[in-house]
């Protein structure tokens, strides 16, 4: 079935090319064939909402008050000695956007009454920042409920000790009660994916300290870039020395780049703008790659040594699939749309994307699918700019992108996602996209990101004004109307 569908898609694309002999960008606009009748946007939005509720009800029935649902054993998983309500906090703003008002109200009350950060255990600063701090701030901005901001400020205060290293780069873990830190080897993503959340907290509380500390961490990573402008994967926060010089856009580096651009926009921060401009030039020079593909050249981003720029690996995966969104937000719609086609090719190989492939051979190098959102996120960005291009003559939009193409891509992915990941009690990760065997895990980003981006692709435009918000890396939208 998957093979048939792939062949059909390729055949359609090939005939489109033969028929009209158009250039590469036209391929982007070629229709995706789908055996099923394309559903209306409204129907699809309703389906996404109802699948969100299916997963949410599973969480409520079997894991309420805990961090995550284990969907196959119908039990729960807590990250630390006591729960920090990862799933409710991550899910709240999505519920609000979906208009699930009663559910959102009772979840908000539950969070306010039960979430406490006065806990004597170590937490991972990056994960807690993007999921909890980001979630609380976004839901505060949507509801005006000051209690959420109070929780966010309390959390921000407890996380601040991470920055007390000799370099200003954050330690990875902090005890929420004692402020004791540990973990002196970190990566650009963990050190550099804090400024949207800490900066927003500063703006909302009028306490600059959060902005200053998180921005310094971002700058300290940038300052340690190699002479050719690349960063590595692991760095010691006490010595400032790289311990792994592998450079790429994948996990452990990914959202460092995302935040350079997004903080330039959200805070109108010209330092971030300059750091982004320098970084993207180096990325495009040393990490960008092209393969022949069957019918046309394909765009990928691979790995290189940060000092020499030599290609070290031709791997790309589900996490890298965030990059078309960032390219699109930066205005590079050409590369964004080409890379999205590559991500989609990766998805189509098994009807759902693996964690990683080798893009030269298209062999799977890591077969799992933990319900990741990045490819959906990029589809949403491209859809947005395609719609904008169809309606306006703004330079940051493109008349060459077809909104229907991205809508159909999203519909296809949503159907695959439901088909393989739906379980009795919620949604389950896949151990392998080849065998489709499910795993007993449902991470909270399913609610914060995967369902949110699917929903926004099909929901009425008034649901969220894309141009008035910046999504943090966990898809919590924040706006600069402090």
Q: Is 438 in the site for ligand DMJ (CB under 6 A)?
A: no
Please give the torsion angle defined by the CA atoms of residues 141, 143, 148 and 153, in that order, rounded to the nearest 10 degrees.
Answer: 20
Contact region with ligand DMJ (CB under 6 A), list: 9-17, 154-162, 330-338, 369-377:
369-377
Asked if 190 touches ligand DMJ (CB under 6 A), the answer is no
Clarify whether 374 is annotated catalytic. Answer: yes
State the minimum distance, in angstroms, from the CB of residue 445 to ligand DMJ: 4
Which candidate in 68, 103, 341, 355 is catalytic? 355
Using the rule CB under 6 A, is 372 a contact of ligand DMJ? Answer: yes
Nearer to ligand DMJ, 259 or 458 (CB): 259
Known catalytic membership, residue 254: yes
Question: Which residue of 336, 473, 477, 478 would you call a contact of ligand DMJ, by CB under 6 A?
Answer: 473
Residue 262 near ligand DMJ by CB under 6 A: no
Q: State yes or no: is 298 an active-site residue.
A: no
Query: 28 - beta bridge partners?
Result: none
Q: Binding segment for ligand DMJ among 66-74, 167-175, 262-270, 367-375 (CB under 6 A)?
A: 367-375
Can you tell me which of 300, 323, 445, 471 binds ligand DMJ, judged by CB under 6 A?
445
Residue 250 is a binding residue for ligand DMJ (CB under 6 A): no
Min separation Cβ 373 and ligand DMJ, Å? 6
Number of residues that bind ligand DMJ (CB under 6 A): 9
Residue closer to ligand DMJ by CB (options 298, 474) is 474
In angstroms, give the least distance from the CB of 126 to ligand DMJ: 9
Q: Determine if 472 is a binding residue for ligand DMJ (CB under 6 A).
A: no
**Among all residues, whose Cβ is closest to ligand DMJ?**
473
Among 94, 167, 247, 255, binds ligand DMJ (CB under 6 A): 255
Would residue 251 be called left, alpha or beta, if left means φ above 0 and alpha means ψ between -120 and 50 degrees? beta
153 a catalytic residue: no
Q: Which of 78, 127, 212, 305 is catalytic?
A: 127
Per-residue binding letters, 394-433, with ligand DMJ (x by CB under 6 A):
----------------------------------------
Instruction: CB nearer to ligand DMJ: give 203 or 262.
Output: 262
CB of 127 to ligand DMJ, least distance (A): 7
172 binds ligand DMJ (CB under 6 A): no
Q: Choose the stretch contacting ligand DMJ; rule: CB under 6 A; options: 3-11, 233-241, 308-316, 372-380.
A: 372-380
Site membership for ligand DMJ, residue 474 (CB under 6 A): yes
Where on the chain is the footprint of ligand DMJ (CB under 6 A)? 130, 255, 372-374, 445, 449, 473-474
Residues classed as catalytic: 127, 254, 355, 374
């Amino acid at each position: 079935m998957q093979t048939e569908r792939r062949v059909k898609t390729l055949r359609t694309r090939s005939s489109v090319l033969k028929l009209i002999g158009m250039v590469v960008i036209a391929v982007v606009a070629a229709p995706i064939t789908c055996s099923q009748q394309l559903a209306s946007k409204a129907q699809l939005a309703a389906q996404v909402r109802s699948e969100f509720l299916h997963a949410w009800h599973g969480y409520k029935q079997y894991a309420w008050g805990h961090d995550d649902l284990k969907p196959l054993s119908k039990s729960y998983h807590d990250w630390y000695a006591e729960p920090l309500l990862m799933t409710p906090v991550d899910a709240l703003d999505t519920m609000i956007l979906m208009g699930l008002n009663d559910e959102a109200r009772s979840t908000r009350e539950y969070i306010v009454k039960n979430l406490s950060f006065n806990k004597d255990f170590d937490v991972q600063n990056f994960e807690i920042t993007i999921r909890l701090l980001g979630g609380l701030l976004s839901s505060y901005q949507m509801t005006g409920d000051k209690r959420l901001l109070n929780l966010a400020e309390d959390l921000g205060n407890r996380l601040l000790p991470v920055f007390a290293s000799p370099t200003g780069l954050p330690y990875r873990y902090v005890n929420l009660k004692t402020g004791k830190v540990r973990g002196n080897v970190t990566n650009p993503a963990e050190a550099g994916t804090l400024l949207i959340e800490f900066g927003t907290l500063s703006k909302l509380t009028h306490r600059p300290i959060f902005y200053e500390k998180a921005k310094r961490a971002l700058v300290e990573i940038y300052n340690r870039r190699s002479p050719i402008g690349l960063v590595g994967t692991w760095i010691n926060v006490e010595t400032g020395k790289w311990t792994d010089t592998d450079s790429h856009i994948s996990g452990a580096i990914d959202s460092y780049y995302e935040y350079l651009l997004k903080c330039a926009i959200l805070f109108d921060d010209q330092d971030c703008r300059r750091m982004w401009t320098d970084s993207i030039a180096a990325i495009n020079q040393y990490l960008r790659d092209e393969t022949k593909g069957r019918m046309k050249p394909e765009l990928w981003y691979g790995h290189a040594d940060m000092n020499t720029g030599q290609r070290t690996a031709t791997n790309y995966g589900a996490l890298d699939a965030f990059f078309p969104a960032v390219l699109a937000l930066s205005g590079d719609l050409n590369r964004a749309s080409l890379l999205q086609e590559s991500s989609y090719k990766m998805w189509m190989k098994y009807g759902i994307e693996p964690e990683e492939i080798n893009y030269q051979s298209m062999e799977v190098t890591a077969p799992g699918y933990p319900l990741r959102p990045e490819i959906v996120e990029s589809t949403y960005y491209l859809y947005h700019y395609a719609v904008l291009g169809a309606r306006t003559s703004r330079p940051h939009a493109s008349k060459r992108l077809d909104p229907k193409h991205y809508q159909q891509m999203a519909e296809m992915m949503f159907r695959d996602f439901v088909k393989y990941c739906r379980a009795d009690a919620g949604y389950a990760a896949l151990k392998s996209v080849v065998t489709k065997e499910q795993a007993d895990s449902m991470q909270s980003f399913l609610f914060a990101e995967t369902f949110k981006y699917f929903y926004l692709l099909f929901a009425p435009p008034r649901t969220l004004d894309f141009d008035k918000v910046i999504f943090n890396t966990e898809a919590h939208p924040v706006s600069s109307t402090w």
